[in-house]
Amino acid sequence: MRGAANEAMLTAGVDVGTSSVKTVILRDRNGEVEILAATTERIRRRDLKVVIEEGYEGALAQARAARSDIRYAATTGEGELVEFRKGHFFGMTTHARGALFLDPESRAVLDVGALHARAIRMDESARVLGHRMTSQCASGSGQFLENIARYLGVALEEVGPLSAEGKSPEVVSSICAVLAETDVINMVSRGIDVRDILRGIHLSMAGRFVRLLAAAGASGVVAVTGGLASDVGLRAALSEEAGRQRLKIEFRASERAIYAGALGAALWGAFRQRRLDRKGVDRNDQAAEQRAAGGVL
């Protein structure tokens, strides 16, 4: 019977960020979860509603599913433009849940987004125990690093490997992104090697991120999520900085780390739909669903 508490179901998670929209579709069969689709659509000054729809349609095609097959579509981030959503979950909650799914040993998350970074401490059930966040004008962000790479004439995927080759890093001391970019311009004019500039930027970012994690009380395995999770130079700098601050932290990044928010939204969506099914709520009665589900996580 459709809606039974133990049936296999498909859920979707849509993470609407500043620079891209990530969509994940899961199959949950009695607690056994399989990722059927994961897509990323860059916004690039396009109409956000169009980007959201293209990402969702692409994920459905990848999962070989129809819209009517999705039992629960959940959003995180700036999800108010997702007209097909059934519920919304806070970013800290979704990144904690997604990171734990990707690495069950993780007990903290470092999410590096386009405009800010946040440190999240959690328990073994993904319950958020503490968090800290940088300001949007901080130089420790994905957008800042992308701007610097463009100025240096370096492809974003080359930043990490080049940084790892730096021998004499020039650390950027300014927290303000605008002033930090001015520092980089001065370094170029002084003839500083690009590899040393990038490693210095990574060390500067890592210093702030590790302090965020310390303030949040993080220890043990930290899952790095967000657009910079795949940056090997940043991860190396994080490990170096954690050692310098004598913190017992191990940084890990899954190949699907960029999808942690969307993945967490889809997982929480499955949890909420099971709860609704147990309560016998009509799937077309949205007001009743919200009352039964207990609001936003």
Residue 43 confidence class, pLDDT cut points 50, 70, 90? very high
What is each CA distance from 176 to 48, 148, 279, 283, in whole angstroms?
28, 14, 50, 48
Chain centroid to CA 249: how far?
19
Q: Same domain, yes or no, for 72 and 197?
A: no
Average pLDDT, the chain: 89
Q: Same domain, yes or no, for 79 and 149?
A: no
> 99 lies in a domain?
no
Radius of gyration of the chain (CA): 20
> 111 lies in a domain?
yes
Q: Give me the DSSP letters along 48-74.
A: HHHHHHHHHHHHHHHHT--GGGEEEEE
Predicted TM-score (pTM) of this structure? 0.88
Q: Identify the weakest region by mean pLDDT among 5-14, 20-29, 47-56, 102-111.
A: 5-14
Look up the domain containing 40 and give its range.
9-90+259-293
Q: Nearest 5°: phi and psi at 255?
A: -60, -20
> 2 lies in a domain?
no
Q: Same domain, yes or no, for 160 and 240?
A: yes
Q: Which residue has the tokens 């897509």?
A: 39
> 183 lies in a domain?
yes
- 16 neighbors 88 (Cβ within 8 angstroms): no
Q: Same domain, yes or no, for 247 and 129?
A: yes
What confidence tens digit (pLDDT) does each residue in 223-238 have? 999 989 999 999 999 9
Give the model's pLDDT for residue 5.
54
What confidence tens digit (pLDDT) does each residue in 252-293 have? 999 999 999 999 999 999 999 999 998 886 555 555 555 444
Give the model's pLDDT for residue 172.
79
Q: What is the CATH number of the domain that holds 35?
A: 3.30.420.40
Give the model's pLDDT for residue 288.
52
- 238 neighbors 209 (Cβ within 8 angstroms): yes
What confidence tens digit (pLDDT) does each residue in 142-161 have? 888 888 898 899 998 999 99
Q: Is the pLDDT of residue 181 over 90?
A: no
Question: For residue 140, which amino acid is it?
Answer: G
Segment 128-139 shows an average pLDDT of 79
Q: How many domains does the chain have?
A: 2
* Distance of alpha carbon 180 from alpha carbon 134, whole angstroms: 15
Q: Same domain, yes or no, for 130 and 65?
A: no
